[in-house]
Chains A and B, each alone.
Chain A
Amino acid sequence: MLSNKICNGGIIFCAKGKYQGIMKLHEYQSKEIFRDYLIPIPRGHLASTPEEAKLIAEELNGPVVLKAQVLVGGRGKAGGIRLVNTPEEAKEEASELLGRTIKNFPVRRLLIEEAVSIQQEIYLGMTVDRHAGDTLVIASAEGGVDIEEVAQNTPEKIARLSINPLVGLQDYQARNLALEIELSRPLWRSFIAISQNLYQAYQDLDLTLAEINPLVITHNNLLVGLDSKITIDDNALFLHPEFVDKRDVSAETSEEIEARKFCLSYINLSGNIGCMVNGAGLAMATMDIIQHKGGQPANFLDIGGGASSERVLAALRIILANPKVNTILINIFGGITRCDEVANGIIRTMHDIETHVPFVVRLVGTNEAEGRLILEGANVQTAKTLDEAAEIAVALSQKGGA
């Protein structure tokens, strides 16, 4: 975590890149924020054992919903949400849910909430509109799990509103949203307050997504937030140290966790050619050319700018830990990254880790000649162009790397 904080606050170049720009919160964590910002939610508590689930159900004194806390969409359809009538049933269902996995995500905690009677499900969300460069608030009278289909098939049922970041979400704007989604008048005041409170949280906490879906209208004609998705801007975590310990790494592979420690951007893929590249765009282009030549990349790995030999060693260690990898392709275009530093990292790796996996290395740019000299005599294949490097790597991988 510490390295992550340093990455994002203190230096100019870092390889966190495309895939680690956000931190996701669990539903129960999102709801703690809702509670702080006076957004109505059902009564409920977190349980990590069946006994706790039973106690909470007793306290709530009525039908309850058990909700598996996993950071993956489609949880309900995958059986992660159960409605029960008695504390005994709560205990039984909890023992069934806890410890199983939903879409490969282990269920460690359940949110136990009072069941809410639903008259209508609406959608309210806000996120960054990259192209317009502002925040977009989105609402729809047809919320719930199928909101993306609603957006695609009947876009007129989605109300959108751009917020000027210098003035924030104004009363009239929230009121217009309520009008557009044809909310009944008695609910306007509550809807405006919820929208503005959500926007306030979005601003205060540097969120990149704040979504209440569904925001339900109950049979008593009240608005209640039933489920939520919140993500936080990783680059702003230095402003919110309280979130740093809330990151759930249970869904990440050990390689991904290790990569984060060294400020590397790593994604596991299914192929057999391990890739180490500097820069996310070049890393993707390297994966693309591997496939174009008939091979399969085993991973995306961006070592970032100005990588030291230690970082190179850590990166190669992560790649070699993947048993599917039978060939390694290293493509470095040195700008702020120095080819000699990378070459030293490669030599250190070959010294520290015993492996039969062949290395194909292509170094161009800053200190290229020094880098080549360091690799002379080492057991690596070098290439002058990316094209050539990819061809050699693909051929090796098809022979099983020998």
Chain B
Amino acid sequence: MSILINGETRLLVQGITGHEGDFHAQQMLSYGTQIVAGVTPGKGGDWVLNGKVPVFDSVKTAVEVTGANTSIIFVPARFAGDAILEAADAGIDLVICITEGIPIKKMLKVKQVIKSKNVRLIGPNSPGIISPPMCKVGIVPDNITFKGSVGVASRSGTLTYEVVYALKQAGIGTSTCVGIGGDPIIGTNFSEILSYFEGDSQTEIIILIGEIGGNDEEIAADFIANSMTKPVIGFIAGRVAPANKRMGHAGAIIEGSFGSADIKIQALKNAGVQIANYPEEIPSLIKRL
């Protein structure tokens, strides 16, 4: 089995009639994802993707009529927070938000609500999830990976592609690849994804792709040391990057010495994680395990 998405996924696309929504819905459908509905307020009653998918005015109606259990969001940033809340309110279990740059104040409220409703949110600013060979909920190019036993969790978009593509070139496939999202406030952190992979029978090795800023990698290192039995390989981008141009003291007080690439790498090494120096080194580290 894969994690988060599989053959049971019944996908709803919020913003399906927009430029990005339309294009990627088509891509996901061709990959094999079951797309059961689209939502664009004001376009209810239309049929899209060559007449295969009905459009609804509200997520509530779409869920009632089609039994959608997962939603992907392609609506612009100023409306995306509202779209997540609408999905959560309509009983969707898993929401994947591709949109980036939702105002932080809105996201803090969204996060409280989804926690209280027990909804799993991936993103915002996520490339989505892909579980080869049949299910993709996101914008990850289809042909860069195939079914295998490596789980991938990443904060980036294109850097994730780079890594799974390097795996493919080396003949290594993936169970599920999850982009947790690059915005400051996200729904699901590394530790939660690692915990899913730990419990997934298909996944044997996990790759964690982090970057500078925040302290999610450090927290994941603790989780790996205490709760993981499967091997983890890490890559942290941003060794050369200039220190984040910070202002004021509050951020430094909260994060202390957290945040730099060196500190993240050290924390992961201490937890027994092998660290790659560059993306294309990862396959050789896997083969040496």
Contact = CB atoms under 8 A, between A and B. Distances in A.
Contacts of A19: 244-245
Interface stretch (A34-42, A112-120, A206-214): A206-214
B213 interface: yes
Interface stretch (A99-107, A179-187, A228-236): A228-236
A291 B239 contact: yes
A262 B216 CA distance: 31
A281 interface: yes
Interface in A343-392: 364-366, 385-387, 390
B289 interface: no
B130 to A, nearest CB: 11
Interface string B134-166: 000001110010000000001111111110011
A49 to B, nearest CB: 28
B108 A165 contact: yes
Nearest to B253: A151
Contacts of B237: 281-282, 284-285, 288
A128 B238 contact: no
Nearest to B248: A229
Contacts of B101: 7-8, 14, 16, 234-235
A203 interface: yes
Nearest to A158: B253
A78 interface: no
Contacts of A171: none
B214 A131 contact: yes
B288 interface: no
Given A127-B254, A291-B240, A12 B100 contact: yes
A270 B69 CA distance: 50
Interface residues of A, number: 83
Contact of A281 (B103, B159, B248): B159
Contacts, number: 219
Given A12-B74, A152-B256, A209-B250, A335 B127 contact: yes
A87 interface: no
A59 interface: no
A269 B242 contact: yes
Nearest to A336: B139
A238 interface: yes
A163 to B, nearest CB: 9
A11 B77 CA distance: 7
Contact of B104 (A71, A235, A289): A235
B49 to A, nearest CB: 18
B78 A12 contact: no
Given A138-B253, A151-B253, A236-B103, A366 B141 contact: yes
A165 B252 CA distance: 22
A209 B139 contact: no
A280 B247 contact: no
Contacts of B213: 18
Nearest to A164: B112
20 contacts: A18-B212, A127-B248, A128-B184, A131-B215, A133-B112, A148-B253, A165-B105, A165-B108, A208-B104, A213-B248, A235-B101, A269-B242, A279-B158, A280-B182, A281-B160, A281-B209, A284-B211, A300-B241, A333-B162, A385-B280
The 8 closest A-B pairs by CB, nearest first: A281-B156, A279-B158, A281-B159, A229-B248, A236-B103, A127-B250, A284-B237, A125-B250
Interface of B: 18, 20, 74-78, 98-109, 111-112, 127, 139-141, 144, 154-162, 165-166, 182, 184-185, 189, 209, 211-216, 219, 235, 237-242, 244-245, 247-254, 256, 277-280
Given A7-B101, A125-B248, A285-B162, 9 more contacts: A12-B77, A128-B185, A131-B189, A131-B216, A282-B156, A284-B159, A284-B241, A285-B235, A337-B158
